[in-house]
């Protein structure tokens, strides 16, 4: 069994920090959350969001009502785009500074949550910019209190210490991880997620699967991360097809929200490695590329590289997708192809060539993996050596379906 491969002489750090409200109607907890913030003397809140979902879902009505009840002022920044930039972080922080806010409320998926977390750092560290933060020019110890109303079932950012933003003029998309940006409270209300489009539903759920495949197989993974990984994949495998067939199925949507939350906690504990390290350059170069789609295109090739180093763990967590595995290293090609076929069966048939990448881009992408701050750390956590040759091979093997 996979657990027998763990070295019990190695001390592992296990993290759970955020108070999360999960379930249909959880949005009503915003009243209690605002009451708690008010008791701390917070009178104004920066609300960071994007698009229209914060209004269309009804979340904003609840937020405004709770703010009015508790006499709190709201400063709304609603310009966050998918794959947020440090420019957006700076703009949100400037608005919050002008309004004299004492906390940050993020409403949306990973992009608004990550932007809001980053703005919370800048608001507590005057004189610093988004580029300073994402180019590692300082190490923040403090941030304003953060609350996250999550509108997708994929990112996991509502329960962990991670955030991502793109430094546009450098094509860098680094990740940061600081204890000061754990959200104090998170809301995972599946009723707020029922309007996700079919593709959004696919991509965010696949993001959650990638989180746990990586978190369970890093060099610093722990048993808690592996347990969360197995349950996450079981729930996504069972419920993603149900949701694609019946988008208003709140039972299935609840299970996917729970899976994504667990996945966020899993990579908070086990970290990430090659799939995310190689995807960030893709969506930095092409900001319109969905992060989840980028991960889906890379995942089979990453599994083929990593399976021989963690066969028992991957056989255990991938059991719903690829039953009957014995956990032997030579199963790697079979597992990689089975995962690719599972993705194709969900309607995610694109590979890198379909979204505009080709052989000529491989060297540039490898350069970005090597130069982008933080990605070298992710690569170093892979269960196999993340040298340039291997990174290039993963990109090349992701240009078209595996053979």
Q: What is the pLDDT of residues 295-338, one digit of tens each?
A: 999 999 999 999 999 999 999 999 999 999 999 999 999 999 99
What is the pLDDT confidence band of residue 35, given thresholds at 50, 70 and 90? very high
What is the pLDDT confidence band of residue 9, given thresholds at 50, 70 and 90? confident
How does pLDDT run across 209-249, given as a tens digit for each residue?
A: 999 999 999 999 999 999 999 999 999 999 999 999 999 99
Q: Domains of the chain (ranges plus CATH)?
A: 2-12+197-397 (1.20.1090.10), 26-188 (3.40.50.1970)
How does pLDDT run across 45-79, given as a tens digit for each residue?
A: 999 999 899 999 999 999 999 999 999 999 999 99
What is the pLDDT confidence band of residue 110, given thresholds at 50, 70 and 90? very high
In the predicted model, what is the mean pLDDT of residues 21-35?
A: 95
- % of the chain exceeding 70 in pLDDT: 98
Residue 11: is its pLDDT beyond 90? Answer: no
How does pLDDT run across 159-207, given as a tens digit for each residue?
A: 999 999 999 999 999 999 999 999 999 999 999 999 999 999 999 999 9
pLDDT at 5: 72
Instruction: Residue 172: count other Cβ atoms within 10 Å of its Cβ.
Output: 22
pLDDT at 362: 98
Strand duo 162-164 + 19-22: pairing? unpaired
> What distance in Å separates the CA atoms of residue 243 and residue 291, rounded to the nearest whole number?
20
Residue 12: is its pLDDT beyond 70? Answer: no
pLDDT at 32: 95
pLDDT at 6: 67
Q: Which residue has the higher pLDDT, 14 or 123?
A: 123
* Average pLDDT value for the chain: 96
- % of the chain exceeding 90 in pLDDT: 95
pLDDT at 403: 85
Residue 8: is its pLDDT beyond 70? Answer: no
> What distance in Å separates the CA atoms of residue 108 and residue 93, rounded to the nearest whole number?
17
């Amino acid at each position: 069994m996979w657990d027998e491969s763990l070295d019990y002489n190695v001390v592992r750090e296990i993290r759970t920090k955020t108070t999360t409200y999960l379930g249909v109607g959880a949005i009503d907890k915003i009243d209690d959350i605002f009451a708690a913030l008010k008791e701390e003397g917070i009178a104004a809140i920066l609300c960071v969001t994007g698009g229209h979902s914060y209004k269309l879902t009804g979340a904003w009505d609840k937020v405004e009502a709770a703010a009015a009840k508790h006499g709190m002022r709201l400063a709304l920044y609603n310009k966050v785009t998918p794959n947020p930039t440090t420019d957006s972080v700076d703009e949100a922080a400037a608005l919050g500074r002008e309004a004299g806010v004492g906390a940050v409320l993020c409403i949306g998926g990973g992009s608004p949550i990550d932007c809001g977390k980053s703005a919370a750092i800048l608001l507590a560290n005057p004189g610093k910019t988004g580029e300073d933060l994402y180019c590692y020019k300082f190490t923040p110890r403090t941030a304003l209190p953060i609350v996250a109303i999550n509108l997708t079932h994929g990112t996991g950012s509502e329960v962990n210490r991670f955030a991502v933003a793109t430094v546009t003029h450098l094509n860098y998309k680094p990740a940061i991880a600081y204890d000061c940006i754990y959200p104090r409270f998170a809301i995972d209300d599946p009723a707020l997620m029922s309007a996700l489009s079919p593709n959004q539903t696919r991509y965010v759920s696949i993001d959650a699967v990638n989180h746990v495949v990586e978190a369970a197989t890093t060099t610093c993974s722990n048993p808690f991360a592996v347990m969360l990984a197995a349950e996450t994949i079981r729930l996504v495998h069972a419920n993603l097809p149900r949701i694609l067939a019946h988008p208003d199925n709140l039972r299935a949507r609840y299970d996917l929200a729970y899976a994504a939350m667990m996945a966020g906690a899993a990579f908070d504990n086990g970290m990430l490695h090659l799939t995310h390290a190689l995807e960030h350059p893709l969506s930095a170069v092409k900001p319109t590329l969905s992060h989840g789609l980028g991960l889906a295109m890379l995942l089979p090739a990453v599994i083929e590289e990593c399976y021989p180093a963690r066969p028992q763990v991957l056989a255990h967590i991938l059991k719903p997708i690829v039953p009957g595995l014995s956990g032997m290293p030579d199963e790697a090609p079979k597992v990689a192809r089975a995962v690719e076929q599972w993705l194709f069966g969900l309607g995610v048939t694109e590979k890198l060539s379909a979204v505009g990448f080709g052989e000529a881009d491989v060297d540039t992408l490898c350069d970005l993996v090597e130069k982008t701050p933080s990605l070298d750390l992710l690569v170093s956590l892979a269960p196999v050596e993340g040298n340039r040759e291997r990174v290039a091979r993963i990109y090349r093997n992701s240009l078209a379906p595996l053979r």
